[in-house]
Copies of this chain bind each other. A is one copy, B any other.
Amino acid sequence: MEPNALLHLDNQLCFALYACAREVTKLYRPLLDELGLTYTQYVTMLVLWEKDDIAVKTLGERLHLDSGTLTPLLKKLEASDLIRRERDREDERSVIVRLTEQGQSLRERASGIPSQVFQQTKLSPEQIASLREQLHELTAVISLQEEQAKR
């Protein structure tokens, strides 16, 4: 093997992931601009479109994001009238997020986005699904490691 091949950029899975994730995000930008959303705001809305009336904590677990990222992001979505934030009366430590009418209806305008991006990837639905599952598994393994590392 070549000397130090393990340190070569193109041999790093981490870099392949890092670069690919950013390129894919870039594909969304022009589409999301029309909705007035950033990519992170978009995935936040995806979660809420599936089920709103959830705590910031729950959102964070779903998105792998903590309050340092979510709090300002949610305030912006609230300023755009897409969501409302309200303290949970049962447990005042929690903040509950719910969609406004506008937030609900934005879903329709977003509904065409996945297929538009899909076309640009030039991958088959099977390739997409396979890649997605490999990544989900890897993410799950790593999340578990990090969970355990905390103890």
Contacts and interface: CB of A to CB of B under 8 A. Distances in A.
Q: Is the interface of A mostly helix, strand, loop or mixed?
A: helix
Contacts of A18: 21, 24-25, 39, 43
Interface residues of A, number: 57
B9 A47 contact: yes
Interface stretch (A73-81, A87-95, A138-146): A138-146
A35 interface: no
A63 B12 CA distance: 12
Interface of A: 4, 6-28, 39, 43, 46-47, 49-50, 62-64, 107, 110-111, 114-115, 117, 120-123, 127-128, 131-132, 134-136, 138-139, 141-143, 145-146
